Amino acid sequence: MFPEQEYEGPEPASTARKLQRLAEHGVRSVPACCGAVATLSDGDGERRSSATHPDLAALVSLQLDSGDGPIRTALDSGEPVGAEDLLTDERWPDYRAMALGSGVRTSVTLPFRRAGMDVTLNLYGFRPGALAHPAYGFAAILGEEITAGLARDRRYRAALTELGQLTTALRSRPVIDQAGGIVMHVLGCDADEAYRVLRHVSQLTNRKLADVAQGVVRTRGRGLEKELSRLAPGTPRR
């Protein structure tokens, strides 16, 4: 059995643990399996993998970089892709050469897709034909469960991000309203025009609207008459 080793990328630690668990349990659940790699990729170009041996990690990297091999074939078809004996299998020449160089004679790739994520469990064996369908049945079930968990984690993180943005917006609203009142007084304009001025200043200075509003409130508009008038939409800049 190959020693266990984890490979991490930019995804959160919880994702790394789930991929590691998938790879490790994949090996344990299939008696003839000598090693495994779990991978995750998404539409944003993020890639992550957890392998039980560095040679297997390199074998997966070769496929992901070239776009050729059982991983791509399995993701395109949505079905498991196996190679009973890589000594005689003529598909994917580069993958085949590296696998045989690592002592791998047979492999199977199980694809899982959920919430814009592509997950694969790649199982490897020393003996030809050792990874037949009945042997990896439990690994397929585990892959479905972990992929569903990864999708839940991603939805949860997205919800937390949205909540944080809403909280920030609610906290900054009072100061923006106060700054709008000051601009109305300084320019003698209505509320809509005042908010347009603040947004325009935000865009021109590449600062957040809340930061611009805080600056206006801090000075109470003193000395801003000319500046605000100059930056008002539709006013020529001098």
Residue pLDDT, tens place only, 200-210: 888 888 888 88
Residue 159 — very low, low, confident or very high, per pLDDT cuts 50/70/90? Answer: confident
| Start-to-end C-alpha separation, the chain | 75
User: In 3-state terms, what secondary structure has residue 110?
Assistant: strand
Checking if the pLDDT of 6 tops 50, the result is no
**What are the pLDDT digits (tens) for 205-233?**
888 888 888 878 877 666 555 566 555 55
**Which pair of tokens denotes residue 70?**
């059982």
Give the CA count within 13 Å in the CB-facing half-sphere of 99: 33
Find the mean pLDDT for residues 156-181: 72
The set of residues, in sequence order, having a beta carbon less than 8 Å from that of 9 and lying 6+ positions away, is 46, 47, 48, 49
69 C-beta neighbours (distance < 10 Å), count: 27
The span from the CA of 132 to the CA of 84, in Å, is: 8
Answer yes or no: pTM beyond 0.85: no
Using 50, 70 and 90 to split pLDDT, how confident is the model at 235?
very low
Q: What is the pLDDT of residue 76?
A: 92
Q: Quick: pLDDT tens for 73-101.
A: 999 999 999 999 999 998 999 999 999 99
Question: Residues 110-140: pLDDT tens digits?
Answer: 999 887 889 999 999 999 988 877 657 788 8
For the chain, what percentages of helix, strand and coil (3-state, to nearest 5) are there? Answer: 55, 15, 30
84 is written with which tokens?
């009973």
